[in-house]
Amino acid sequence: MAHALSLAQNEIADDDALARDVLGQVAGRWSLGVLCVLAEAKGPIRFSRVLDGVDGITAKVLTQALRQLERDGFATRTIYAQVPPRVEYALTELGLELIEHVDPLTRWATRRAKDFRAARARFVR
């Protein structure tokens, strides 16, 4: 259910809600993987290279993920008017910050993997 019926389209007034929304997007299946490929590139990188770098993603889904990263300010999109077309994506400062803040969490989760495995084994019932 939408919370703010009075707001046009997708505007989110509350900062907390906006932050949750953005993190929710980032938590999606592909965003972080794409972001990491952009980070590893250490500079502008073409659509096809990103496509190669993210295992299992399709062009359609990659396009959507990149658009959303661009929308939230985590990546830039630069189109070069040439044939064949060239489009390059790059991580922004904000995107780098995001990665830096997500990293400790994923590291912790990886360290704790054994505990997760044990908990899941204990469960089942």
Residues of the shown chain interacting with DNA in the complex, contacts defined by CB under 7 A: 1, 28-30, 46-48, 56-61, 63-66, 77, 84-88
Q: What is the Cα–Cα distance from 106 to 15, expressed in whole angstroms? A: 25
Q: How far apart are CA 65 and CA 117, in angstroms?
A: 30
What is the nearest approach in angstroms of a copy of itself to the Cβ of residue 108? 5
Residue ranges binding a copy of itself (CB under 8 A)? 1, 10, 12, 15-16, 18-20, 22-24, 27, 29, 56, 70-73, 94, 97, 101-102, 104-106, 108-110, 112-120, 122-123
DSSP character at residue 54: S
Going across the sheet that includes 75-80, the strands are 45-46, 86-91, 75-80
CB of 92 to DNA, least distance (A): 16
Reference 72, options 86, 85, 91; nearest CA is 91
From DNA, a copy of itself, none, interface partner of 30 (C-beta below 5 to 8 A by class): DNA
